[in-house]
Structure 1
Amino acid sequence: MTTRKGLSLFLVALGLTFTQCKNETYQTQSATDTAAVATTEKEYKYETAPNDPLNARIYTLDNGLKVYLTQYKDAPRIQTYIAVRAGSKNDPADATGLAHYLEHMAFKGSSKLGTINWEKEQAELAKIEALYEQYRTQKDPAIRKKTYHQIDSISGVAAKYAVPNEYDKLVAAMGMKNSNASTWVEQTIYYGDIPSNQLEKWAILESERLGVMIPRLFHTELEAVYEEKNRSLDSDDNKVFEAAFAALYPTHQYGTQTTIGTVEHLKNPSITEIKKYFDKYYVPNNMAIAMSGDLDFEETIKTIDKHFSRWKKAPEPAYTAPQEKPITAPIVKEVIGPDAESVLLAYRFPGIKSKDALVLRMINQILSNGQAGLIDLNINQKQAALGAGSFAEIYNDYSAHFLTGNPRQGQTLDQVKNLLLQQIELVKKGQFDDWLIPAIVNKNKISQMKAYESNAARATAFVDAFIARQDWADYLKQDKDFEKITKQDVMDVANRYYGNNYAIIYKRTGQDPTSQKVEKPAITPVPANREAQSDYYKLVAATPVSDLKPAFVDYEKDIQQGKLKSDIPVYFTQNKENGLFNLYYILDMGTNNDLKMGLAVNYLQYLGTDKYTAEELQKEFFKIGCSFDVSSGQDQIYVSLSGLDENLEKGLALFESLLQNPKADKQALDDMVAGILKDRKDAKLNKNIIHSVAMVNYAKYGPKNPFTNILSEQELKKVKPAELTALIKSIPTYQHRVLYYGPRQLPAITATLNEGHIVPVALKPVPAEKAFKEQDISKSQVYWTNYDMVQAELMFLTKSFNYDPKLVPTVRLYNEYFDGGMGAIVFQELRESRALAYSASSRFSSASKKDRANYIMSYIGTQSDKLPEAMAGMQELLTDLPVAETNFTNAKASVRNSIATERINKVGILMNYEQARKLGINHDIRRDIYESLDALTLDQIKAFQQQFVKGQPQTILVIGSKDKLNFKELEKYGKVKQLTLKELFGY
């Protein structure tokens, strides 16, 4: 389960602003307007909006449930969201985290699903609820311990009647992808991507499990929430944003309550309060279903009505937003933690219904749009800080504008703050180009076109409108209103809201003096009951569905091949949906061929040409709705250009001029080198880089590995601008291939590239690659690194056989059975049964290139004091694979349904072909998996595990706080060695 913040920030980072398109009034129609139906059938009225890019139909069932539907038939799948207009702002002040915990409970089933004897289980659950009400009022530690022991004991009895993860098993067997949920300040969203033939099963299941709240397996799930809280306490970013929200909203629940809740409230939960919350907010007239995909409007609404109409309408929940007083002076806060230093500025704005909130979206992009915003050009392009950005969070009652920055070496946080404030002042004075606003409008149109190629984005737009209490027509109208925003509007709003009224959060590096954690309670593991099935489970599983046939990529038919001048191969797939293009030049060389090439590629972003400065070049690209990127990996360089196909020639001319005539800039190089050195320093403070990148590379290759294969500080400082510009110019002189996805035909794009792509008559072969040899893991060993954190994170790494396409079907089924989601073995055992972690996984990870090894990678993040149980639990599963026929049947059905309904299309065809080339195969490997499924047995999966997983030597990677780790326990698994940051990073 996730919180909404992570999702919304992710969308901001991608630029997926689903700002809207519009119509002033609704049109009311009937589903029978376009189809003849029997007179006895119910007539479903729906609303539409003119000029709607989604051609959506919005229904309202008799019980008030909103249903948003749109068709998008690029694959036989449907993205589903069930939205509740209730989040953490609706939590009782004395029971924060309640909405989020209820979200977890919603996956536990119902009085029919997830139980083999509801009458007996219900009686035990009532006892547990009563004990929790006593427990939360008790103060004496001895009495609390005794009460919790009773809770734990009775929970064990209740668990005998429970069937954990029945919902998860069913949706996995259906072929649902991304089954999860998220909670944020004013919404809780349940989501899943289903095959289109599984609609009836989906409706049966969702109407059942969200129609009632059953606090099943409450105390083990509570432990998972504890771990989620501990993860948030280990996140400096999370602490910074909590501080910012608290400063902006000292009265409103946005700031006074957090989504996961306080430690104190998590320690004293109330099942009774959760039930009250459910009864108040989980009512059909406060909920909506949003769906996009390969659906039939009439059949879909009939199915939804058939199953969801039994939900009973109730009074719509009332909410009165607390009113904040004006901020009259900067509110200064400080957050201390192990991550690198940064600064965050935050301004309060009105809520989504205000026009000023719409103007805020424009201001945000004037400041930071990834290409030509004021922060992009004046700070990032000029390397005035290590990195800076801007994003807006727009909610119902209030909104917030955040500006972030990271300092360069020797730069203070106040200097970064002043740089950000200077950009705000430019906005207030209107000191930005007149063409910028129209270009932003154009960029948003392009972003929307890209976004609406995704069912998830289309359905998300519905959810956003519903949560904001906006009619669909009003939601769409925002696009037209956005286009009408003027420079004067921007200046007026900026001068109204940006003053000495901000919150500033200084994130400093150090040990947090306020560090806390949710302590581990004594929990007895509950039975997994893997082979048990409720009658309801059997009923749903037996519901017949129509058969869907897979469609595999045929590289010869689905990709057209041509030749450019100088014998350059071009691979082509046509875009028949919109006017956007993607163009790639791909070179099979990277940092393993030439370290300085990676540096040159990075340098390119700061350079201009003989005609344009670097800043002017970015502006020119932005004006025409195009963007470019050059990236260098270990073994490939990707040169990409994308945007409006009508401007491809202009974009190509600009880009080719940059490759041919990059203008050396010594100051830009000096600043870039200084920035690289500061980035390297900051990387040593980043837990994820240390554990998931540096330690993994060390374990696979030893101290000299692709991650440490970098130019030294001394070598960096010796590099001359002319060396790098020469390397940039050499990129198109090496052998490469071209990929194009766009609306043109192959002859037309060939002609355009023959004229615009500047290359020599004969291309040079790429230089030899310096490949790193994967070292053998012949005996078990433990590497650990010290990091100030609440949790400990462990990764178990085993080197296996080299990539073998013949074993891919077995590997795919093994992974689905063992770790294919919340209904699979790992999740069931380590989280549901033993409550050892919020996050745990184990995958047989296939190599991405031929002649490379596969690896078994198992992960668990847990409280440090649970490390012994967590390690033992994971090792037990890796040693003796639990055998469960039901899980295996579901895993096989999941793989079959997923492959039958997924479609690789658009630019994905070209990328799939690129991956196949790396693996040395000439066909869609999914065909092999699908055609092998019927013959694969559980005995074969068990044999695979016995041969390749059980008893294999491991390198165990541990990151945690030295004073919290149990080294005696670690020594049981092999020789323990501390890895210093210098060993891991090579500097």
Structure 2
Amino acid sequence: MSTSVSRLFGAFVLSAVACKTAANAPSTPPAAASGTAPAGDRDAVLAASDLPPTHAALPDDPLAVSVHRLSNGLTVYISTDRQKPRFDAWIAVRAGSRHDPAASTGLAHYLEHMLFKGTDELGTLDHAAEAPHLARIGELYRELRATQDPEQRRKIFAELDLANQKVAVSAIPNEFDRVYAELGIADLNAFTSFDQTVYVADVPSNRIDAWAEVEGERFSDPVFRLFFTEMEAVYEEKNLSLDNPWVRTFYATTKNLFPRHPYGTQTTIGEIEHLKVPAYQDMVDYFDRWYVPNNMAVVLAGDIDAATALPRLEATLGKIEPKPLEAPYPGSLAPIGARVQTEVVAEGEQEVMLAWQTASAADADEPALTVMDWLMDNSTSGLLNIELELSQKVPSASSSRLSLREAGWFSVRAQLRDGQTHAEVEALLLAVVEKLKRGEFTPADVAAIVLNQEIADKRARESNDFRANKMTDAFINHQPWADVVARDRKIRAVTREDVIRVANKYLGANYSAVHRRAGKPEVAKIDKPSMTPVELHTERRSRFADALLERPAQQLEPEWLVEGTHYARGELAGGPLVAVSNGRNDLFSLTYRFERGHKRDRLLCYALDVVEQSGAGELTAEALKKQLFALGTSVSFSCDAQESEITVEGVDATMEQSLALVERWLREVKIDKAVLRGIADNVISTRRDAMEDPDELAGALADYAIHGKDSEFLHAPTNAQIAAAKPEALTKLAREFLDYQHKTFYFGPRSASDAAKVIGLGKGHRKLPLRSPVAYRKVPKPTLYFTHRDVAKSTIAVALPSPALNREQRPAARLLSEYLGTGMNTLLFQEMRESRGLVYYAWGVLLAGRRPSDAWALRGGLGTQSDKTSEALKVFFELLGRPLDAVRLGSTRAAIEQEYRSSRVDPRASGMLVHAWDELGEKTDPRPWVWQTIGGMTLEQLQGFAAGFAAVPPIVGLVGNRERVDLEALKEIADVVEVAPAALFSYGSFPRGQAATVAAR
């Protein structure tokens, strides 16, 4: 609920809340009492609902999905996996922003928010007392929609605030979140997109009863309380989308492609004019119309089975009555007749995105379109990767594909470098599309894609999230599960001719062209109403919550990592090895980590970037990448100020061949001078764009504010160094890269001893001194570093540094972090968003050093509307200094307890976790000791620990709009130091046209 979920396509889709009151209350939706089908008509209602066939697991289904139906028509998908005693529990509704009324866009999304506010039994002490005020709120929103008079609107907002406070007298605002946290139910969230709204949770296997009861209550009797406060969170989210050029580009594309269909005419978050006058009654009606069991599915993936789940679901969610379904407004999906262009003006990078309407998820062409997308862009040897990226014609290029319930689209995009025009880049993209349509690829290229798709699916099946996502898509897209299984077989049967056919069928002259141009955007603004904070009253608890938390459940026992059981240690010539067995499949993953970054060698990271775009010996870059892709092997390089890594992943059968190719790549790297000039131009051009992008600036400013001269952005090579870098110097860095001591992490089907025989890389292996300890900037008084951008939101980073603390204080750090936290049940989120509507996100954690010598810091972050900045920062600091709340601390402790009992370390992550313990000097898994210490820690002990940070002068980094953030008010909080973007980076000057000239000398 607190985080954006850009699952399918990156459109801003987030969690939400809904409401329905008791049957005799004045605010009961009218249709709720009249729309229920008589019992004799139930079969007819379900038959007309286009529900998927039910069946046991199919014999050729690797996910072993079974599909069931409750008596009321609710569909249940189950995919069992026993790796950990938890399961993903998703509830999917076949209704999203595509189903919004045209005059109430954004409705599905803010209804989603409201379904976290509770019910007539959960989230309130006295529903009968609040019901009249809820009814009055509904009337006031009707009045708001009926007037444009500013004075009348002001009066209505004031009365809404008063009515909201009257509801708050008996409300328990965060009870839904708190109950789930104390039960150990994690990752509570939701997302809305075009065709769906989905509610997600990660549930311990011993809590199926409690989860089913809460969800049955949530979807039977929701109450839309505290709507006035929650709409502020929606406004905040809208501002995030207004400041995000990608989101604006996305919606410009859908509007071009679908000008007469809700896919194009309605955004998920909603239009500003609709959000200013939210349709409260329309929301109630929407819930009554679409949130019915014959339009919903429960999706379960993990440690759960039908025998356990179905009786619980039938007794809870199975009690909701089905209703006849209306047909949504059809719109028109007739393809556009010609090229349609739109411009998006934004700071930062410039780009071109082209898109074509294609086929729906269930269409017979979908498998071939999937392979077509891989052929264009697989991050290695796709046509766009080779024709535009490896050739250095553009800094980056990619493709993407999306298939929805009724239609789909395919897009290609490329970033401009300095000096290029949008027309030139569009022509480059179209030229690659023509190569695709002419079939300038081979059957071997298609076979390699099929192999890599199978590997990707095999890897994804390790995740409950993937399983839940795939089952949800099947339900939303009205696809029988047998067709989904068959579709995966059809992918393997796609031929070169199939791809050529669909490319020519869909990729014609009738496409959308969105040109993102550099410039200052018009910054829209949603005015905030005056709002009285809602008191949270952590001591309150409903009778429903009491009964739920007191219900007995068999305790799960924690599992700690044990050397020799969960992982093994070894020693390679290059340094230590941590090996973890993969008992699920034949995939391997190898990471070689070096304590060497651009702080030690200024050009090292750049050299690795160049390697990724270069060949080896007689192998061109294209031939090398195609060889790796044909093996099903991916190779990635990462490098920052302190560390660098190579990660190699693939199939065990080709591991030796893949590693030999990787070592040859580095030993025999062939850096072409002309290619290097193109790389330098692209890097410098991308840097220029980054210095104008608000999100990039926020990261750089945070590092500068908090670490000062130690900011990693101040240690990167300058533009002049990049431009002057010679092939010989970069080649030397690449060829010697493996010959330093490093740590190796292996995950795969081989034993540690067998893997150790073949995975060692490099020779000689020079020793590396330990990196310098992490240090924070020291300031004598509160100091705020400010960088101006023309944005609707403010992005704020906070740090309260402390010297390095000792091992004994790590449990206190964990407990305090969870108390302040990043989740919905934590102090900062509840007080700043749920109570005051001040922010979209707020978090705070105590970052202990990775090594004993590192400094610690209490770190935090806020995202808020510009005109709320100073108020939000004041409240943030007030909360950090507030005495700890015993009730909230008890809830936090209970959540940690359940997490330790029910969570299991993903085997793929075990090696890195062991590495983190090694860094701290821990000989074994330290979690048992941390858990026991937290259990015995008193409030007074934690309060004393937290007080040490409250006395430290805070450091703040803020990227925002100086016309709106009220700098004078901020100066009352801290000394304000304005910082120009150029001061945040080591890059130096950017004379246009100079990069290529310097590089050519």
Shorter-chain TM-score above 0.5 = yes
Single out whichever of 796-805 and 195-204 deviates more from structure 2.
Answer: 796-805
* Paired residue secondary structure (1:245): helix
How far 1:211 moved relative to its partner? 1.9
Match of 1:852 among 815, 835, 854: 854
Letter in 1 for 2:204: P
Match of 1:872 among 864, 871, 874: 874
Match of 2:536 among 518, 525, 528: 528
Report whether the alignment pairs 1:701 with 2:713. no
Q: Deviations over 1:184-236 (max 9, x none)?
A: 00100100111111111111111111223311001000111111111111111
> Which residue does 1:908 correspond to in 2?
909
How far 1:52 moved relative to its partner? 0.8
CA distance in structure 2 between the aligned counterparts of 1:164 and 1:238, rounded to whole angstroms = 31
How far 1:417 moved relative to its partner? 1.1
Letter in 2 for 1:624: L
> Which residue does 2:550 correspond to in 1?
542
* Paired residue secondary structure (2:712): coil
Letter in 1 for 2:423: D
> Which residue does 1:642 correspond to in 2?
649
How far 1:557 moved relative to its partner? 4.3
Single out whichever of 529-538 and 568-577 deviates more from structure 2.
Answer: 568-577
Equivalent positions of 1:294-443 (< 5 A) are: 294-319=303-328, 321-443=330-452
Equivalent positions of 1:59-70 (< 5 A) are: 59-70=68-79
Give the unaligned 5+ runs of structure 1.
13-43
How far 1:320 moved relative to its partner? 5.0
> Which residue does 1:714 correspond to in 2?
720
How far 1:176 moved relative to its partner? 2.0
Match of 2:525 among 494, 517, 524: 517
Q: Tell me, yes or no, if the aligned pair for 2:92 and 2:472 is still in contact at 8 Å.
A: yes
Letter in 2 for 1:945: A
Match of 1:505 among 508, 514, 519: 514
* Paired residue secondary structure (2:56): strand
> Which residue does 1:736 correspond to in 2?
742
Match of 2:731 among 714, 725, 736: 725
Q: Tell me, yes or no, if the aligned pair for 2:92 and 2:298 is still in contact at 8 Å.
A: yes
- The percent of aligned pairs where both chains have the same amino acid is 32
Distance change >3 Å, CA 87–CA 508, structure 1 → 2 = same
Q: Tell me, yes or no, if the aligned pair for 1:88 and 1:183 is still in contact at 8 Å.
A: yes
CA distance in structure 1 between the aligned counterparts of 2:781 and 2:920, rounded to whole angstroms = 29
Equivalent positions of 1:589-628 (< 5 A) are: 589-628=596-635
Letter in 2 for 1:764: R
* Paired residue secondary structure (2:616): coil
Single out whichever of 653-662 and 81-90 deviates more from structure 2.
Answer: 653-662
Q: Tell me, yes or no, if the aligned pair for 1:3 and 1:259 is still in contact at 8 Å.
A: no
Superposition CA RMSD, Å:
2.0
Match of 2:96 among 59, 77, 87: 87
How far 1:648 moved relative to its partner? 1.0
Distance change >3 Å, CA 537–CA 769, structure 1 → 2 = closer
Report whether the alignment pairs 1:750 with 2:756. yes
> Which residue does 1:825 correspond to in 2?
827
CA distance in structure 2 between the aligned counterparts of 1:4 and 1:497, rounded to whole angstroms = 32
CA distance in structure 1 between the aligned counterparts of 2:330 and 2:5, rounded to whole angstroms = 20
Letter in 2 for 1:617: L
How far 1:406 moved relative to its partner? 0.5
Match of 1:806 among 805, 808, 811: 808
> Which residue does 1:687 correspond to in 2?
694
How far 1:533 moved relative to its partner? 1.1
Q: Tell me, yes or no, if the aligned pair for 2:574 and 2:762 is still in contact at 8 Å.
A: no
> Which residue does 1:660 correspond to in 2?
667
CA distance in structure 2 between the aligned counterparts of 1:129 and 1:450, rounded to whole angstroms = 49
Moved over 6 A (4+): 2-5
Q: Deviations over 1:450-495 (max 9, x none)?
A: 1010111111111010101111111111111122222222112111
Q: Tell me, yes or no, if the aligned pair for 1:843 and 1:856 is still in contact at 8 Å.
A: yes
> Which residue does 2:47 correspond to in 1?
none
* Paired residue secondary structure (1:180): strand
CA distance in structure 1 between the aligned counterparts of 2:363 and 2:65, rounded to whole angstroms = 25
Letter in 2 for 1:716: I
Single out whichever of 808-817 and 317-326 deviates more from structure 2.
Answer: 317-326
Q: Tell me, yes or no, if the aligned pair for 1:573 and 1:906 is still in contact at 8 Å.
A: yes
Q: Tell me, yes or no, if the aligned pair for 1:846 and 1:855 is still in contact at 8 Å.
A: yes
Single out whichever of 623-632 and 240-249 deviates more from structure 2.
Answer: 623-632
CA distance in structure 2 between the aligned counterparts of 1:133 and 1:463, rounded to whole angstroms = 35
How far 1:412 moved relative to its partner? 1.3
CA distance in structure 2 between the aligned counterparts of 1:703 and 1:800, rounded to whole angstroms = 18
* Paired residue secondary structure (1:491): helix
Letter in 2 for 1:370: S
Q: Tell me, yes or no, if the aligned pair for 2:745 and 2:912 is still in contact at 8 Å.
A: no
CA distance in structure 2 between the aligned counterparts of 1:478 and 1:5, rounded to whole angstroms = 26
Q: Tell me, yes or no, if the aligned pair for 1:213 and 1:275 is still in contact at 8 Å.
A: no
* Paired residue secondary structure (1:602): helix
Single out whichever of 1-10 and 234-243 deviates more from structure 2.
Answer: 1-10
> Which residue does 1:47 correspond to in 2?
56
Q: Tell me, yes or no, if the aligned pair for 1:240 and 1:507 is still in contact at 8 Å.
A: yes
Single out whichever of 931-940 and 263-272 deviates more from structure 2.
Answer: 931-940
> Which residue does 1:39 correspond to in 2?
none
CA distance in structure 2 between the aligned counterparts of 1:371 and 1:425, rounded to whole angstroms = 20
Equivalent positions of 1:976-987 (< 5 A) are: 976-986=976-986, 987=988
Q: Tell me, yes or no, if the aligned pair for 1:4 and 1:183 is still in contact at 8 Å.
A: no
Letter in 1 for 2:648: L
Distance change >3 Å, CA 10–CA 149, structure 1 → 2 = closer
Letter in 1 for 2:981: L
Distance change >3 Å, CA 413–CA 454, structure 1 → 2 = same
CA distance in structure 1 between the aligned counterparts of 2:819 and 2:738, rounded to whole angstroms = 46
Q: TM-score, normalised by structure 2?
A: 0.92
Q: TM-score, normalised by structure 1?
A: 0.93
Q: Tell me, yes or no, if the aligned pair for 1:106 and 1:209 is still in contact at 8 Å.
A: yes
Q: Tell me, yes or no, if the aligned pair for 1:152 and 1:523 is still in contact at 8 Å.
A: yes
Report whether the alignment pairs 1:98 with 2:107. yes
CA distance in structure 2 between the aligned counterparts of 1:403 and 1:436, rounded to whole angstroms = 19
CA distance in structure 2 between the aligned counterparts of 1:553 and 1:645, rounded to whole angstroms = 25
* Paired residue secondary structure (1:601): helix
> Which residue does 2:863 correspond to in 1?
861
Q: Tell me, yes or no, if the aligned pair for 1:3 and 1:184 is still in contact at 8 Å.
A: no
Single out whichever of 857-866 and 57-66 deviates more from structure 2.
Answer: 857-866
CA distance in structure 1 between the aligned counterparts of 2:154 and 2:493, rounded to whole angstroms = 63
CA distance in structure 2 between the aligned counterparts of 1:304 and 1:801, rounded to whole angstroms = 52
Q: Deviations over 1:416-460 (max 9, x none)?
A: 111111111011111112211111111111001110101111111
Single out whichever of 629-638 and 213-222 deviates more from structure 2.
Answer: 629-638
How far 1:774 moved relative to its partner? 3.4
> Which residue does 1:278 correspond to in 2?
287
CA distance in structure 1 between the aligned counterparts of 2:2 and 2:706, rounded to whole angstroms = 31
Q: Tell me, yes or no, if the aligned pair for 2:738 and 2:761 is still in contact at 8 Å.
A: yes
Give the unaligned 5+ runs of structure 2.
13-52, 989-1001
CA distance in structure 1 between the aligned counterparts of 2:687 and 2:909, rounded to whole angstroms = 33
CA distance in structure 2 between the aligned counterparts of 1:752 and 1:338, rounded to whole angstroms = 49
> Which residue does 1:196 correspond to in 2?
205
> Which residue does 1:783 correspond to in 2?
785
* Paired residue secondary structure (1:958): strand
Distance change >3 Å, CA 706–CA 139, structure 1 → 2 = closer
CA distance in structure 1 between the aligned counterparts of 2:294 and 2:333, rounded to whole angstroms = 29
Single out whichever of 410-419 and 110-119 deviates more from structure 2.
Answer: 410-419
Distance change >3 Å, CA 197–CA 589, structure 1 → 2 = same
Q: Tell me, yes or no, if the aligned pair for 1:627 and 1:641 is still in contact at 8 Å.
A: yes
* Paired residue secondary structure (2:441): coil
